[in-house]
Amino acid sequence: MFKQVALISIFFVTNQAILLASPPPQPEDVKYTNARHELVSKLKERGILDNAVLSAMDKVQRHEFVPEKYRYRSYEDISLPIGKIQTISQPYMVALMTQAIRPKSEYRVLEIGTGTGYSAAVLAELVKEVYTIEIEPDLAKTADDRLKKLGYINIFVKTGDGFYGWEEKAPFDAIILTCTADKVPPRLAEQLREGGLLIMPLGRDYSPQTMVVITKKNGKLVSRPLVEVQFVPMLGEIKK
């Protein structure tokens, strides 16, 4: 009887403690938070000057999107393998591409190449809606589940070929391709609103590529180079 009463008392006291105060951050959480702050400082030094973008990069927990075996490298400014011969993009590239579309709170953005969902999460902190397409079904489902678990209600994931875009949700204020192609898929050009921006790595597979910013003016595409890059290739219809 004495043992039972003691157990009940401990349970009661423990519950009282939980109600009175949240548990202190665990060492692992602190480590990730500090590493994320340091990463954002480095991004600023490299020319990411949009405060809203920097704030989004500081808020989104990249380690939640990185495979377990590489999680200790989550806040290094590098791309990391995610399976299916794909990668989670380098944070600098995510920030650069996001900054390049000059995001606004009312924007609706289409992303081609969901991957783990990290780039979509960063965008979702800045714009009204993100529509993201992933050609690999397993990656699409995992990303969708992860984003929902993390509470993102303004991200919509679709399994499919990004070459065709998402016609029923067009037009988009901006379109971001996280994979390279040697031309702009025509359907994407059609789904970009007048005055909208399309950001993509332009070039051949596994060779030097150029990140370009494309503006739609009077129905035509006007391009300017941004930086030399190396991205994984776009798959699907574009290869035919």
Place of tokens 């794909």: 86
Annotation marks residue 79 as catalytic: no
Q: Tell me the chain's radius of gyration from C-alpha atoms.
A: 21
The backbone torsions φ and ψ at residue 45, rounded to the nearest 5 degrees and listed phi first, read -65, -30
SS (H, E, C) 26-86: CHHHHHHHHHHHHHHHHHHHCCCCCHHHHHHHHHCCHHHHCCHHHHHHCCCCCCEEEECCE
Report the SS3 class of residue 235.
Answer: coil
- Of 175, 205, 203, 179, residue with least CA distance to 189: 175
User: Torsion angle, CA of 93/67/82/114, rounded to 10 degrees?
Assistant: -60
Check 74, 79, 89, 119 and give the catalytic one: 89
For residues 194 and 203, what is the distance between their CA atoms, to the nearest angstrom? 25
Give the catalytic positions in this structure.
89
